[in-house]
Every structure is written in structure tokens, then in C-alpha cells.
Amino acid sequence: MVNRQIAVVTGAGSGIGAAIATELGRRGYHVVVTDVVAQNASKVAKGIDSAQDRQLDVTNPDECETLVQAVVAEHGRLDVWVSNAGISKMQRFVDISPADLARNFEVNAYGVFFCGQSAARAMIALGTRGAIVNTASMAAKEGGVLFLSDYVASKFAVLGLTQAMAAELAPHGIRVNCVCPGYVATSMQARELAWEAELRGVDEATVRQSYIDNTPLARLETAEDVAKVVAFLVSDDASFVTGEAISVNGGAYMD
């Protein structure tokens, strides 16, 4: 048991999730670093002052529930939940198989749903006026994106779910928001650069430059750019913010 606020982050073994876990640790939370790839969660947790790591596959509702119960049993509290795990695979709309579509929704949408349910149940039972943040995407607001139709659909779902959760959980004092990052330099982006270059018949440098050209602040986004906004959303500074979808994209999409 630690005498700090407890924050759980999913998909925290890499990229944006790792940055969120690290930033929350820097701000004094005890962070439960989770990922489907256990050794990556472990590596990230080692770099945080007060942290532990747990394997969690967000597509499995029983695993989500078990993890939440274990955190509550150990620490007696759950203050912050960040549903960040997500996947992408660039393909033409006409080529996406039912299996790929299902997998995308299982991780990106169902995962947020299952984790949110388990976290909210625990916060309600504990009487905690907690905060939940979901990682959506710029593609949750701007659907006119090539080769990511399943991803766009799942991220629009995350944005809608965030609003529905915020409405139902507000009477319990639980706030629910999402962040909508733009072109973030992570391993997901590295994979997308290769796919998009292949699909467009150009080289990866051309695709990367197109992301920068599409961003008024004229650089690729960092995972830390996103993490700082998540840290704001879960903090008391955002105590009257709920149901929001905060764009963090250097101006690449303005709404």
C-alpha cells in the first residue's frame, strides 16, 4: 500500500501510454503500468519513482475486472484510469477482413468500454470522485483519412463512449474525457509510415513530411505533448471538465 493517488494506464509499455505513465509518476501518482506485452510494462515501470507493472489485455473483461480488484485490494483506492491501449493497421477500405475489423474494435473500442466499466464500478464502490481519460485520436473528429477506415470508426466510437460515460458517471463525481492526438512519433506511427508509403507508392520520408506539412506548428507531435494534457485532465485544474474531447495536434485539425 502506498500513500499516493493511484493511477492505472493501459497500453503503457510503449509510446503515448509510456509517456502518460511517466508524467503521472513525475507528478506524484503511484502508477500501475499495464500492457498486453508484460516485459514492456515492466521496463517502463522501472523508470518511474513509484510504480508497479501488470500484464493486461484490455480485450478481456475478466482481466480488466481482476486487475482493478487487485489494485483496490492492495491500495484501497483507485483515483485515475487512463484507457490508452490501441492498434492500427493501414489498408484500403475494400480490403479490410472481418477478422481485422473485429480485432480493431476489440482493442480500440471494446477495450475502452471494458476498462471503463471496471474502473467506474470500483470508483463508485469506493465513493471516489475519480477521473478517467480515454485516448481517442484526431481520427475521432476528422474521418476523412485514407487507409484507416476501421480505426476511424473505432475512434469515433471512443469519442461517443466518452460522452456517454461522462453523462452517466457525473452523478458519482467521476469525470470522463478523451484526448485526440495528431501525428505522434511512436512505434504505431513508424508502422503507419511504412504502410502508407507502400499504399501511396511514395517513400516514407515523403509521408512523414506530409504529416509535418499538415501540422501548423510544423513538427511531429511527441508522446510527451499528449501526456501533459492527460495529466491536466486528471488533475484538479480540470475539476469542472467532463465529456470533452481535447485536440492535441499542433493545429492539424481545428474544431
Ligand X SMILES: NC(=O)c1ccc[n+]([C@@H]2O[C@H](COP(=O)([O-])OP(=O)(O)OC[C@H]3O[C@@H](n4cnc5c(N)ncnc54)[C@H](O)[C@@H]3O)[C@@H](O)[C@H]2O)c1
CA distances from 185 to 14, 53, 121, 219 (A): 11, 24, 34, 10
Distance CA 56, CA 35 (A): 5
Cα–Cα distance, 194 to 70 (Å, whole number): 40
Of the ranges 24-32, 66-74, 82-90, 124-132, which one interacts with ligand X (CB under 6 A)?
82-90
Burial 104-122 (b: 16+ CB within 10 A, else e): bbbbbbbbbbbbbebbbeb
Give the three cell numbers for residue 18.
509510456
Say how many residues touch ligand X, by CB under 6 A: 31
Supply the minimum distance, in Å, between the C-beta of residue 112 and ligand X: 9
Amino acid identity of residue 153, one-letter, is: A
SS3 state at 254: coil
Choices 25-33, 36-44, 69-77, 228-236; region in contact with ligand X by CB under 6 A:
36-44
Residue (of 128, 223, 121, 116) closest to 163 by Cα position? 116
Identify the residue among 109, 157, 184, 238 touching ligand X (CB under 6 A): 184
Q: Does 52 sit near ligand X (CB under 6 A)? A: no
Residue 137 C-alpha cell reads as 485520436
When asked if residue 253 is in the footprint of ligand X (CB under 6 A), the reply is no
Chain position carrying cell 485526440:
180
- Of residues 62 and 129, the one with the C-beta less far from ligand X: 62
Could you give the residue numbers annotated as active site? 151, 155
Residues 12-31 that bind ligand X (CB under 6 A): 13-17
* 51-59, 65-73, 123-131, 201-209 -> range binding ligand X (CB under 6 A): 51-59
- Is residue 116 near ligand X by the rule CB under 6 A? no
Identified binder of ligand X from the candidate list 6, 7, 9, 10, rule CB under 6 A = 10
66/51 Cα distance (integer angstroms): 18
Longest dimension (CA), the chain: 55
**Binding positions for ligand X, 95-114, rule CB under 6 A:** 107, 111
The C-alpha cell at 250 is 499542433
Cα 102 to Cα 151: distance, rounded to the nearest angstrom: 11
Choosing from 57, 150, 196, 244, the residue that interacts with ligand X (CB under 6 A) is 57
Q: Tell me which of 22, 91, 118, 186 binds ligand X, using CB under 6 A.
A: 186
Query: Rg of the chain over CA atoms, in angstroms?
Result: 17
Q: Which is nearer to ligand X, 40 or 242 (CB)?
A: 40
The span of 1-9, 35-43, 74-82, 195-203 binding ligand X (CB under 6 A) equals: 35-43
CB 211 within 8 A of CB 185: no
Site string for ligand X, 137-176 (x = CB under 6 A): x---------------------------------------
* Site residues (vs ligand X, CB under 6 A): 10-11, 13-17, 35-37, 40, 56-59, 84-88, 107, 111, 135, 137, 181, 183-184, 186-189
